[in-house]
Structure 1
């Protein structure tokens, strides 16, 4: 008598978990997907890009993004790291460059980067990516009785419930933020 848990058309020795389109862990697929990019940019750059938040810290991670390593002929391991930096932060980064190079080389344990080249442009991170944590928001202060009455008077003519709630929320944040 055949086992009822196996399908009638199952082949002997066939394991459905080993099928070609079976789900796999993201880490397995990620390496295969990123390998061409990392091959093109280099292993050291791949490590710098993937660990930039750890190496640089949250402030630099928010304002900068490593782009490429440029190796000069005969320079050995040492390279120039090209970094995208937001224009407002470029001067600060220029002054911090020796410390950043030291942090990168300390991370690797050898002289991987000799100097930085800065490219000023807005730094944008993909949505859902490894973003730097947003700055904590300061909670709005509670409204005084006069402010609540003023807000209620401003919203008096609004009949749409959803619009009224949105405007009330906006009003509370504006009144709560003002001093």
Structure 2
């Protein structure tokens, strides 16, 4: 016996990879069905690189595939749903998906939406008939922003 409790001969036996796979995959398949695991793993190959960039399969339950997608892609996916379901079922080899549920959320790996460029506030408008103070400053700044916005439109 060795320190780890096994006899030294056990390490010399060769086992096929197929014999080891059930023990390795059992924990993953307890959480998800084999079809769901295949869809998650092969998503980019099933739907293509363009749709894979803006969609993520979230879960497959009772024939309903929940897809996370970026905002405007949801409408496009509604129109592509029959074709997308056919592609998924062709890849799985059976009718694993009957319908799609679209959830608009941020997709991991997608770039965040661009922030508007920060601008310096425009100089305040002069208000001659008012005494100096915080009210005059606030009204001058408000007038300058209103004028700036009117110029842009």
TM-score by length of 2: 0.54
Shift, 1:38, TM fit: 3.0
| 2:73 alignment partner in structure 1 | 89
Shift, 1:14, TM fit: 4.2
Count of aligned pairs: 97
Question: 1:112 and 1:45 mapped to 2: Cα distance?
Answer: 8
Matched, 1:38 2:29: yes
| 2:45 alignment partner in structure 1 | 54
Question: 2:105 and 2:81 mapped to 1: Cα distance?
Answer: 17
Structure 2 gap segments, 5+ residues each: 1-6, 13-19, 111-153
Question: 2:87 and 2:68 mapped to 1: Cα distance?
Answer: 18
| 2:105 alignment partner in structure 1 | 121
RMSD over equivalenced CA pairs, Å: 2.8
Question: 1:39 and 1:110 mapped to 2: Cα distance?
Answer: 20
1:138-157 correspondence to structure 2 within 5 Å? none
Q: 1:109 to 1:40 in 2, by over 3 A?
A: same
- Which range moves more in the overlay, 106-115 or 48-57? 106-115
Out of 55, 58, 61, which is 1:64 matched to? 55
| 1:101 alignment partner in structure 2 | 85
Give secondary structure in 1 for the equivalent of 2:99. Answer: strand
List structure 1 runs of 4+ shifted beyond 4 angstroms.
none
TM-score by length of 1: 0.47
Question: 2:35 and 2:98 mapped to 1: Cα distance?
Answer: 13
Give secondary structure in 1 for the equivalent of 2:98. Answer: strand
Shift, 1:64, TM fit: 0.6
Residues 32-75 of structure 1 show CA distances to partners (whole Å, capped at 9, x for unaligned) of 3x64233212111001001111111101111111111121xxxx
